[in-house]
Amino acid sequence: MNISFGCQTYTWKLNKERFAGDLPHIAEVTAKAGYTGLESEIDMLGDYFNRAELTKEIMDGCGISLAAIVLHQDWAGYEESAQEKELSDKAIDFIRQFPGAKIVLSHHALPGDRKEGDALSERRERLFACMAQVTGRAMESGVVTAFHPNSSANSLFRTAEDYGNLFDMLDKTDIGLAPDIGHIANGGMEPLDVLVRFRSKVRHIHFKDRLGHNTWALMGKGSIDYSSIVSYLESTGYRGWIMVEDESHEAELDSDKAVFYNGEYIKRFIH
């Protein structure tokens, strides 16, 4: 199949004190669980974020690819701050060492970010202005970016109405979309409907399962129809990554065990 399945480091981030910076362990478990790629949050890379060549050696040694890194920023102004630009440029320089890997853009959903009316619209405009600046520089290095919305209380895009505005804003930029199926469902939407609407902008995808509002589950233990989603993506020629992550209580208790469990579930889609 044309779809590649990878693991996202957030499953280990639930136990960050233990696993942050332990890329050799994370990469080894990712490979043993049957995934062919890894997406990492920058803070989970630790010092490996400063050592792209060594990161590549570890990936190659485990037989997996670095599919993406996640760039979290506040992006609260119409221009990037000097500190934000410095981190963004470092992320671009790092990820361009891994051909085909992407940067997943994610704003810090800070307290007070979620406003109403004109204030919310302006906050979104500032976010997109900064992300467009990052995307422009990334494109110059041949790097694709994709925005990852979430469903937290302070998120700027979490409901069906929000996603209507999101589509309009994405359509005016070169920024792709990295939809998170679990967050879409958590925002009260039907994930497949959202994928159909945004399909032309989808560059990267996250899977995680859920039982109910803000109640996450191991893959296949929740209520999301992933078989239909994978079938739709295959039928439309999606050729990118699907990254599996887990925020369930089981993952918090044992991150490695959750990765192996989810890897077994995902094998049903690999043929």
pLDDT computed for residue 113 by the predictor:
83
d(CA 203, CA 201): 6
CATH of 67-269, one of 3.30.930.10, 3.20.20.140, 3.20.20.150, 3.40.50.720: 3.20.20.150
Rounded to an integer, the average pLDDT of 171-178 is: 96
Rounded to an integer, the average pLDDT of 2-30 is: 97
d(CA 11, CA 19): 10
pLDDT per position as a tens digit, 85-138 = 999 999 999 999 999 999 999 998 878 888 899 999 999 999 999 999 999 999
Q: Nearest-CA neighbor of 125 among 175, 77, 72, 73?
A: 77
pLDDT computed for residue 108 by the predictor:
84
SS3 246: coil
pTM of the model: 0.96
d(CA 8, CA 25): 14
**Summary count for the chain: helices (H), strands (E):** 13, 10
Q: Are 91 and 71 in contact (CB under 8 A)?
A: yes
> Any idea what DSSP says for residue 222?
S
pLDDT over 80 at 271, yes or no = no
Tokens of 169: 């804003």
SS3 214: coil
Cα dihedral 75→209→196→171 (10° resolution): 0
- Give the position of tokens 């302070």: 154
d(CA 134, CA 132): 5
- Give the position of tokens 């000097």: 82
pLDDT per position as a tens digit, 45-83 = 999 999 999 999 999 999 999 999 999 999 999 999 999
> Any idea what DSSP says for residue 179?
-
